[in-house]
Amino acid sequence: MPIIEVNGLRKTYGAHTAVDDVTFTVDEGEIFGILGPNGAGKTTAVECLEGLRRPDTGTIRVAGLDPATDRDELTAILGVQLQESELQEKLTVREALDLYSAFYPSPEDSHALAERLGLTTKLTTRFGKLSGGQKQRLFIALALIGRPRIVVLDELTTGLDPRARRDTWKLIEEIRDSGVTVVLVTHFMEEAQRLCDRIAVFKQGRIAALDTPAGLIGRSAGDTVISFTPSRPLDHDDLAHLPDAQTIERRDGRLTIHGGDTTVNAVISLLARHRITAHQLRVTDSTLDDAFLELTEDREN
């Protein structure tokens, strides 16, 4: 059941169209990812959802509300991650939690929330003295303090070390498990692949693809990548007839073939038939990285 419905969204800045005819829905309880290269229109689209920008055309409904006109009601159900510049350096963690709880009629218990986010030992620490990971946890706490039905997290793990990033992923999963819908804007493919139920890939203001991570990977050039360096060159015709092979690249004598299971089997029999040895043979699953690069690459015409 959709909790967010975006239909034909368009937003321009002067002559520049940042978001162009974007349509998608987000189901209640899912983690919905928004991916795309820099300048693809992700933040603009999300800011329209949050009511921070007014669309030129198109309709948006968030739990039935129009963000452009129902700002107050929206604030009560939508938790938004603050940007670093929006919190005073001198504010302590406790003060920030108390300040933001005061905005809501029935806020979460701030101590319980601090505990859940591992901030109890930092309650008297000033914001400016927190580490990057602790700041992000505080931002999550502040986004959750009003007991929202939906949270929007924009590039939450940028700048975090790998452990802090993984800890944050766990938190995001816990938020989803508690029934909150999460909209996650991210540049990290591993993060999107691990967390998101569905992903909209933005490209130049439009949605280039919208699918589950597995669906996006599956529609890229094959879901298996076989790479090896043959002991002597393989015949071009043999390679051209490999079943299900989507792309074949040769670089410095090394072959990389995107295909499926049948392609792997055919490569193995081809090598055996010609008694060719495969050096450093690797068979790996395609990743969301592969799919993302393919979906967002600039093709001429």
Ligand X SMILES: Nc1ncnc2c1ncn2[C@@H]1O[C@H](COP(=O)(O)OP(=O)(O)OP(=O)(O)O)[C@@H](O)[C@H]1O
User: By the criterion CB under 6 A, which residues form the site for ligand X?
Assistant: 13, 16, 18, 36, 38-44
Closest contact distance (angstroms) between CB of 192 and ligand X is 13
Closest contact distance (angstroms) between CB of 43 and ligand X is 3
Closest contact distance (angstroms) between CB of 68 and ligand X is 17
Closest contact distance (angstroms) between CB of 204 and ligand X is 9
What is the dihedral sign for C-alpha 117, 122, 124, 129? negative
C-beta neighbour count of 224 within 10 angstroms: 18
Closest contact distance (angstroms) between CB of 202 and ligand X is 6
Q: Judged by CB, which is closer to ligand X: 122, or 203? A: 203
d(CA 245, CA 234): 15
d(CA 41, CA 93): 32
Q: Judged by CB, which is closer to ligand X: 38, or 124? A: 38
Measured CA angle at 223 (ends 220, 227), to 5 deg? 110
Q: Judged by CB, which is closer to ligand X: 44, or 193? A: 44
Q: Judged by CB, which is closer to ligand X: 48, or 267? A: 48
Q: Judged by CB, which is closer to ligand X: 13, or 103? A: 13
Closest contact distance (angstroms) between CB of 193 and ligand X is 18
Q: Judged by CB, which is closer to ligand X: 135, or 203? A: 203
Q: Judged by CB, which is closer to ligand X: 86, or 174? A: 86
Closest contact distance (angstroms) between CB of 97 and ligand X is 28
d(CA 166, CA 136): 12
CB 127 within 8 A of CB 89: yes
Q: Judged by CB, which is closer to ligand X: 202, or 228? A: 202
The partner residues of 7 in beta bridges, in order of sequence, read 59
Closest contact distance (angstroms) between CB of 59 and ligand X is 19
